[in-house]
Structure 1
Amino acid sequence: MRHPLVMGNWKLNGSKTVVKELIAGLRNELSSVDGCGVAIAPPVMYLDQAKHALSGSQIVLGAQNVDVNLSGAFTGEVSADMLKDVGAQYIIIGHSERRTYHKESDELIAKKFALLKAAGLIPVLCIGETEAENEAGKTEEVCARQIDAVLKTQGAEAFNGVVIAYEPVWAIGTGKSATPAQAQAVHKFIRDHIAKENHAVAAQVILQYGGSVNDKNAAELFAQPDIDGALVGGASLKADAFAAIVKAAAVAKNA
């Protein structure tokens, strides 16, 4: 049985004050919510502060990226072992901003995926097409290629206990969002694509939707059978807006 998961990606935002106040707000807003997993991914320098602020709550710590190396002369990088050491569990990889601004390839992201699995961490693998690819009818082709980078090198079993976040690039931070029917169609394609290799693995993969998810569209998105939660950007920086999304997920999935 899949459990819904809503994760907040804070991106390049925050301060010590923001971490303190935002987590306090989340703890207050979500104290009585049941039936939906919650995780947040602050910038790496705030992970330790966030871990302590989350202590005793049900909110899980995540991180926004990982390097392919575990140690050595790689200035500025952060390893899987380091993230595990500070208590992060869900690690975002393959986000479109990393693919675009840092030219990260499918192959590099697959290496990160393998490292996280080996370290006992949970990859949150982001996939999705650009607006041009969407208009050219290449959504399924792009998503399949990005999944296959892992599937063809590590096997379907690698997706046990993993999260895949479908984020159409044209909907991230734009205010645009796929309709619930559009999002469901792609989520079903993703699950079916993995099922061609292993039905049991495909059935348990948590599939999140990301891309301008907010308190207005969350409930309808989560009512779709293959959408298990959300990877939330901007709305995760406001405790009340993020909590509304979590509550919508919990209600939809408990129904």
Structure 2
Amino acid sequence: MMDFHKEELLYLARIAEQGERYDEMIQFVKDLIIGQTDMSSQERNLLSVAFKNAVGKRRSSLRIIDNYSIRDEKKNIATKKIYLSKYRMQIDTELKFLCNDAIETINNLLETIEDVENRVFLFKMKADYYRYMCEYDRGEIKDANCDKAQEYYEKATEISKQLSEVNPIRLGLMLNFSVFYYEVKNEKDTACDMARKAFDEGLTELDNANESYYKEATMILQLFRDNLSLWT
């Protein structure tokens, strides 16, 4: 890749996002932020959007393939099952590559970034990408990645105690951590208790939230409400 100044990388990352060229957006964002001692909210958002959408496309593809595999297995269509298995392996490899790239990028950032909000964001993001891998893993690899996801959610949670209960980064962490317990660990009571506690604490502090937090915090609190309605 050519050498670009920071303003040019920001511009190219936004253009790549608009064009849904998320794999290239990842590289622009990595070139922008690696080695920095701090990240702005804009840079955090670009990092999150780039990896989340690149990985999200693969997660969606794997869900579709798995649904077709179940359908074909019921119909006992062996040849199609073989084709789908090979295609699934290709997409699964892409997903694992991107998740590991995200984790490596985060590890590099954690070496230089000390701001509490950013560290909570990064540990939460690291946990998310271990969670995405364990969704589609099997056996011991699945167990290992689930353990890693829980480890980094817990680490992010410990650091987040330094933040306000209505801080959107803290709320987003608790939202994802509760989803991890519900969907991956299948510990539904723990998930509901965690979500309800974070929701109640955030709602109590909402009137005291500064203007920059209020809108995003309100949106996350609504997601808690939606999840609790589905889970209980």
TM-score by length of 1: 0.30
What TM-score, normalized to structure 2? Answer: 0.32
- Relative contact order (C-alpha < 8 Å, sep 6+): which is higher? 1
Q: Flag the structure with higher strand content.
A: 1
Bigger Cα Rg:
2
